[in-house]
A and B are shown apart, each in its own frame.
Chain A
Amino acid sequence: GEDVEQSLFLSVREGDSSVINCTYTDSSSTYLYWYKQEPGAGLQLLTYIFSNMDMKQDQRLTVLLNKKDKHLSLRIADTQTGDSAIYFCAETNSGTYKYIFGTGTRLKVLA
């Protein structure tokens, strides 16, 4: 079945850039998403990218997609302590609308 993998932890210093990586196996993915989850809270959609795009930028967030390698990354510029959370990548295709989530990456921002 489909699988989405992420590294479990990332620690950065405040003001540095963070890069969170994600790999997936489903070649029929249509959309790929990044969600943020703060402790005890639900999911907040950060950004998404359509599978025919290579890059998308939204303020401090930059998403890069390498469809050939099935690799997705999220770069957060000027990381702040408020960015500390778990980040999930997810993929879906237009056929099922089911989201397959990655394992989540815990980002810790050090002051």
Chain B
Amino acid sequence: GAVVSQHPSWVICKSGTSVKIECRSLDFQATTMFWYRQFPKQSLMLMATSNEGSKATYEQGVEKDKFLINHASLTLSTLTVTSAHPEDSSFYICSARAGSGGLAGNTIYFGEGSWLTVV
């Protein structure tokens, strides 16, 4: 079945540095990818929606200059956390929408998630 892969699964970075998380659709072209953030013991909150070749659409309250999203190809989207701080430590999950087919033509596949710890 369709697979979405995130890399890295775990990353620790120093405060003030930037870190990039990749989200790849492995066997389908993803016209749209989504980035979510999950705080411990909380639900997933949508951060932004990215469409291939265009600027991402950010949800209210999400700093677009801090969370840079690039969707340069139909199989890859990246989330860069710039000037990371400890409060950015979280579990980040991406999802990708298959352009057609799938379970019901509206299928979203989730990545395994990436744990970010900023020290």
- The answer to whether B115 touches A98 (Cβ under 8 A) is no
Bound complex: CA of A50 vs CA of B95, how far in Å? 20
Q: Quick one: which of A88, A94, A98 contacts B46, CB cutoff 8 A? A: A98
Q: Which of A78-111 contact B (CB under 8 A)?
A: 88, 92, 94, 97-104
The count of residues in chain A whose C-beta lies closer than 8 Å to any C-beta of chain B is 21
Given A48-B103, A97-B108, the answer on whether A43 and B93 have CB atoms closer than 8 Å is yes
Whole-angstrom CA separation of A92 from B34 in the bound complex? 13
Q: Scan B1-29; emit 1 where CB is below 8 A from any A CB, else 0.
A: 00000100000000000000000000000
CB contacts under 8 Å to B, within A1-35, are 30-31, 35
CB distance from B56 to the nearest CB of A (A): 13
CB contact between B106 and one of A31, A40, A100, A101 (< 8 Å): that residue: A31
Assembled-state Cα–Cα distance A97/B32 (Å): 9
Given contacts A88-B44, A98-B34, A99-B46, contact A43 B97 (CB under 8 A): no
Q: Which residues of A contact B (CB under 8 A)?
A: 30-31, 35, 40-43, 45, 48, 50, 88, 92, 94, 97-104
Q: Which B residues lie at the A interface, using CB under 8 A?
A: 6, 32, 34, 36, 42-46, 49, 93, 95, 97, 103-104, 106, 108, 110-113, 115
